[in-house]
Amino acid sequence: MLGSDHEPARRLSSRHLIVPLVLSLTMMIVLAVWFYEPGTWRLVWGAFDIRWLGLALLLLGVSVLLRVMRLRWLLGGRLTSRAAWRVQLWWEFASTVTPSSIGGAPVAIYFLARERVSVGVASSAALSVMLFEQLWLSTLLFVLFLGAWHLSVVPFGGAAGGAFSLALMVLWGWTLLLGYLLFVRPDWLSSIGQRICRIAFLRRHQALVRRELEELVRRARQLRQRPVGFLLKGYGITLAAWVARLGVLLAVVASLVPSADWKLLCFRQALLVLGGLFVPTPGGSGGVEGLFMLLVAPLLPRVFRVPVLVLWRFLTYYVFLLSGITLLTRHVQRRRLARPRGRLWIASRTGHPVS
């Protein structure tokens, strides 16, 4: 729900942080043991080119910077650059501890409200980001379909390959349908939601769902009134941010395997991003590592598969998880310091409280 009054930070327990860490680390340890060969680290160290790692760091920073720019633009400059960076890092962190299909928008809206941005404005910005991400996802699916005519984008054939291609087509159709319902005919979405809530065991949520859907329809109508230039600019920033983020893996691969099949690698990475949306674990932990070994690893020499995976996941996952833990720790400390201290009641001979 876009306009929740509850504090998302309170709901983040140690379990939300430990579970994704355990899943991801367990999978990488299993893969490291499975693919280990004597002399692996000597070969990795000898082939490693730190200049490409520097480029990967630069691309990662650019991708976050572009998202910060998008956020400030959508909010009409209501945030300072420092506050926008802080909120964007919260957004990235929330995405690492929630399933990929959910994202970090609710947490971002809460912290935007703490930066004195109204919930309505923050919700509109989150909805705009959703629109731009949907447009990007549709573009990515279209490019994948084009590439599949000339390259072996899907790494397996037969019935499995046909089923995977069908799943991509269903995803593309669902993406277009969802975008149409959200931003062209939100009244249809509201009608569908209210009909679903007529089911017996869902009736108790009917009032809440109706209120939220009415708010969604209102925000969507406001978004439709924006000029075409708004959509083009937002889509352009989102596209550039994703290209930079996808470039991180290419730079990591280049730091160890300079002679990779770059064209096929680009398409396989796009498929990896789409597959990660279906992984139900927080931030895709565990599942994304498995998809990497299925889609990207076959394009790399066996000895470099796990090192590339470790470097890539550290830059695109653990960096944001660790930065979020730092932000969360500071947030909790500030709340404790800001909390009014109660009077200290001490039993005395007179029976009066001692301040």
64-92 pLDDT tens trace: 999 999 999 998 888 888 999 999 998 89
Q: Count of domains in the chain?
A: 1
Residue 354 lies in a domain: no
Residue 348 lies in a domain: no
Q: Average per-residue pLDDT in the chain?
A: 79
What is the per-residue pLDDT across 27-53, written as a single tens digit (0 to 9) for each? 888 888 887 777 777 888 888 899 999
CB 320 within 8 Å of CB 304: no
Using 50, 70 and 90 to split pLDDT, how confident is the model at 230?
confident
* Burial of residue 69, with CB atoms counted within 10 A of its CB: 0-12 exposed, 13-18 middle, 19 or more buried: middle
What percent of the chain lies above the pLDDT cut of 90? 23
- Give pLDDT, residue 71: 93
Residue 3 lies in a domain: no
Average pLDDT over residues 340-344: 48
Residue 352 lies in a domain: no
pTM, entire model: 0.79
Residue 341 lies in a domain: no
Instruction: State which residues form the domain around 265.
Output: 8-336
What is the per-residue pLDDT across 128-163, written as a single tens digit (0 to 9) for each? 888 888 888 888 888 887 877 777 777 766 555 566
Residue 97 lies in a domain: yes
Q: Cα–Cα distance between 318 and 248 in angstroms, integer?
A: 14
Residue 55 lies in a domain: yes
Q: Cα–Cα distance between 118 and 110 in angstroms, integer?
A: 10
Residue 2 lies in a domain: no
